[in-house]
């Protein structure tokens, strides 16, 4: 398939390629055989042979807009088979949001505004907002993207689908 960044393959076909990769060494043993199982979700089998993921694989963004928590995620390619993985990652991102909000510092012009948090397919974490935020959380690195409006944050994640509100409420244990 051709996308706006040139030739691309779907994530599903990429993961199928990974699943079919033999990874055999010259002596016939599978390389990283024990690690492969440890990197996969116990519920849906999602994961990667080439990186050790501590979180469920999948892109996800959590933010607060108009008085409610919203999330956008890579639903079709990653989370369609694993509601538990999505909920676990939403809970982690809410903890990250709370941590950044409590420990952030104003930028030089005196502004501090945390608009949202996110994670990439692997374990890369992101803070979206204005100010200075911690660079690490729970042993994972945090990248800061300066964003001044929630609409700009949403534009960054236009390719991700909205997470159903009932799933967000369940994950964050929010009423209403």
10-residue mean pLDDT series, the chain (176 residues): 37 39 39 49 69 81 95 88 91 96 86 92 91 92 93 92 95 73
Query: Could you tell me how far CA 46 lies from the centroid of its own chain?
Result: 13
Distance CA 48, CA 37 (A): 9
Distance CA 59, CA 61 (A): 7
Query: Could you tell me how far CA 140 lies from the centroid of its own chain?
Result: 12
Query: Could you tell me how far CA 63 lies from the centroid of its own chain?
Result: 13
Q: Parse the chain into domains and list their residue ranges.
A: 2-38, 60-172
Strand, helix or coil at 43? coil
Q: What is the pLDDT of residue 44?
A: 81
The partner residues of 140 in beta bridges, in order of sequence, read 137
pTM for this predicted structure: 0.73
Q: What is the pLDDT of residue 98?
A: 96
Q: What is the pLDDT of residue 29?
A: 41
Distance CA 65, CA 77 (A): 25
């Amino acid at each position: 398939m051709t996308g706006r960044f040139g030739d691309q393959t779907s994530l599903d076909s990429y993961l199928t390629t990974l699943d079919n990769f033999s990874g055999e060494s010259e002596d016939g043993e599978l390389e990283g055989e024990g690690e492969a199982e440890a990197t996969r979700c116990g519920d849906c089998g999602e994961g990667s042979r080439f990186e050790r993921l501590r979180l469920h694989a999948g892109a996800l963004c959590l933010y607060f807009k108009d008085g409610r928590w919203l999330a956008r995620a890579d639903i079709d390619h990653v989370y369609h088979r694993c509601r538990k993985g999505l909920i676990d990652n939403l809970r982690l991102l809410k903890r990250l949001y709370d941590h950044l909000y409590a420990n952030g510092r104003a930028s030089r012009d005196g502004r501090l505004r945390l608009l949202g948090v996110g994670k990439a397919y692997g374990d890369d974490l992101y803070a979206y907002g204005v100010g200075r935020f911690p660079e690490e959380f729970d042993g994972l690195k945090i990248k800061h993207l300066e964003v001044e409006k929630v609409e700009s944050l949403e534009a960054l994640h236009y390719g991700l689908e909205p997470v159903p509100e009932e799933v967000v409420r369940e994950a964050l244990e929010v009423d209403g």
